[in-house]
Structure 1
Amino acid sequence: MTAVGIATGAGRGMGLACARRLTDLVDTLLLVDRDEPAVTAAAKELAAADEEIEVEPFVLDITDPAGLSRLTARATELGSLRAVSHAAGISPTMADWRRIFEVDLVGTARLAEALRPLATEGTAMVCFASMAPLLGNIEADPAVAAILDEPLRDDFLDRLREALGPAVENTGLAYAWAKHGVHRFVRREAVRLGPYGARVCSVSPGVIDTPQGRQEASAQPAMTALVEQTPLGRVGRAEDVAAAVVFLLSDEAAFVSGIDVLVDGGVCAAVRERAGR
C-alpha cells in the first residue's frame, strides 16, 4: 500500500527541512501550511528533486477542525499513514497568548485527534515542542497539569488563565507553557497509540537559524546570550532538527515513543549546570 507522509508548517524553515527528509520514508507526501504560495512552491521544489515521490500541497490552518477533516480524508484516499512531522506553530512575537495556545497546543491536539483513526502498525508522528519550558524550569502543579491535559475542552483557555493568573498573558510565558503542554500531550498520546503499533515523540529545538528564529532573536536580545552559552558554539540549522525528526520517524526508532528529544547544541545543559540544577 502507498505510504503517506504529512509535514505541517512545510512552507519554510524547519517544517520544510523535515519535509525534504521525509521523501526518503514515504511514497506520497502532503505538505501542509496556511501560506498557499509558500507551500505550493515547496511542493514544486520537492517534486522536482525526486520524481519518484508524489508531493501535494495542502493549504490549512492547523486550528481549523473542518480543514483537519479534509486532511484526514485526503490522507486516507492516498494510502496508509506512515509518518507525520508536525512543525506548524507560532512563537512569542507572532500573536497574543490565546492564539499561541490555540496553535501550539490545541492545534497539536486537534491534529493528533484527527489522524488517530489512521494510525496503524508502523505509523509514527513527531510534534514540535521547544526548549523554552526546560530553560524556564516550567513544572505544572496537579491542578494546572489537569487543565493542560484537556486542551480540547471548550473552556480550556479560560480555565488555564484562571489557574495561572494574568502572568500567562505574557507571550513568552504562554509559549513556554504551551510547549510544556506539548511535552505532556505526547506522553499521553504515546499510550493511546501504542496498541495500534504506532508511535509519537516530540523534539525541542534550541536557537535555530530560520526566518522565524531570526524574528524572535531580533525581539529578544537574551537569545544572543543563549548562543554564546551553547557548548557547540553556534546556532542550530533547520537540517539539524530535521535529522532528529527523520530518525524518530524511521524504523531505526521503532521502539522509541513518548519521549522528547532536545536539539539545542547543549545550551540547556550549560544553563542548568551554571544554575546548579
Structure 2
Amino acid sequence: MTTVGIATGAGRGMGEACARRLADLVDVLLLVDRDETTVSAVAKDLNAAGHRATAEAFALDVTDRAGLARLADRVRETGTLRAVAHAAGISPTMADWRRIFEVDLIGTALLAEALRPLATQGTAHVYFSSMSHLLARVEPDAATAEILDEPLHPAFLDRIRAAVGPDVEQSALAYPWAKHGVARFARKEAVRLGKAGARVCALAPGIIDTPQGRQEAAEHTTMQQLVAATPLGRTGRSEEVANVVAFLLSDEASFVNGIEILVDGGVVGAVR
C-alpha cells in the first residue's frame, strides 16, 4: 500500500518545516503552495536528500475548488491518504478581512471537503489555527457560532459580518475570528471522519520565527510585547511546531482527536 501525505503552505515557513518532517512518514508527499517556484525548490531538495517519500510539487490556491479536486484525484491515483498538514494561511498584514476568511477558514473547509471521501483507517489531519483567538477571547454566542460553523455557505462572508459587526472588517479582528472558526471546524471534522477511523486536530502556533511572522512583527509592536511575556523568553522555531505536527499525524497519537494543541511557549497562559 502506497501512503500519501499532503503539506500545504509547503514553500516556506512552518509549512515547509512540516513537509520536511513528513518526508519520512509517507511514501509520496504532495507539497502544496501558491508559489510554484518555491514549492518546486523544496520538492527538489527533499528528493535529493534521499527521504522515504517521493516529493511532488503541486501549485494550488486552497480556495480553488477545481484545483483541490485535482489534488484529491492525485491522491486517489497514487495511493491511500495517510497524513495532512494544512499550514497554508495568511495573516492580518497580508490581506483584507474577506481574503483572510476565504483563505484561513473557507480554504480549510474546502480542503477538508475535497479530501473527506479519501479518509480511511489511520488517516490524520492537522489544521493550523492560531493562538490569536485565545488571546482575543473569541467567544461567539450561539447564533454567531452557528454561522461560523457553516463556512461553505454561499453567503458566509455577509452573514459573519452581520453577526460580528462592522469591526470584523479590520484584518486584525477578522484573523482571530477566522482562526477560531478553524479550531471549531477541526472538532466537527473529527466527528465526521471518526466513523472511518480517521483523526483531525487543530494546532495553534504562538509567535514563530518565519517570514510571515517577521512581517507581522514589523507592523505590530505588540508582537515584541508578547515575546517578552513568553515564559520561555523567545520566539518559537518552525521545526518546533513541525515536531508537534509530526507527532499528531503519527500512530503514536492514535487516540488524540478533535482537539486544538497550543504551541506557544506558554504565552497564552502567561497573558491570560
With structure 2 as the length reference, what TM-score do the two structures score?
Answer: 0.99
1:53 positional shift: 2.2
- Unpaired runs of at least 5, structure 1: 273-277
Which amino acid is the alignment partner of residue 218 of structure 2?
A: S
Deviations 1:154-186 (A, max 9, x none): 000001111111100010100000000001000
Tell me what 1:196 maps to. Answer: 196
Tell me the matched-pair count: 272
Distance 1:127 1:83 in 2: 11
Distance 1:52 1:153 in 2: 40
What does 1:98-109 correspond to in 2, within 5 Å?
Answer: 98-109=98-109
1:76 positional shift: 0.7
Distance 1:67 1:38 in 2: 18
- 2:6, 2:31 within 8 Å by CA — same for their partners in 1? yes
Tell me what 1:180 maps to. Answer: 180
1:50 positional shift: 1.8
1:150 positional shift: 0.3
Tell me what 1:275 maps to. Answer: none
Which amino acid is the alignment partner of residue 79 of structure 1?
A: G
Which amino acid is the alignment partner of residue 70 of structure 2?
A: R
- 2:97, 2:170 within 8 Å by CA — same for their partners in 1? yes
Deviations 1:57-96 (A, max 9, x none): 0000000000000000001111000000000000000000
- 2:6, 2:29 within 8 Å by CA — same for their partners in 1? yes
Tell me what 1:56 maps to. Answer: 56
Secondary structure of the residue that 2:92 maps to in structure 1?
coil
Deviations 1:223-250 (A, max 9, x none): 0000000001110000010011000000
1:265 positional shift: 0.2
What does 1:224-243 correspond to in 2, within 5 Å?
Answer: 224-243=224-243
1:49 positional shift: 1.1
Distance 1:165 1:197 in 2: 39
Which amino acid is the alignment partner of residue 133 of structure 2?
A: P
Tell me what 2:65 maps to. Answer: 65
- TM-align CA RMSD: 0.6
Distance 2:80 2:48 in 1: 24
Tell me what 1:216 maps to. Answer: 216
1:51 positional shift: 5.0
Secondary structure of the residue that 1:93 maps to in structure 2?
helix
Tell me what 2:152 maps to. Answer: 152
Distance 2:51 2:216 in 1: 36
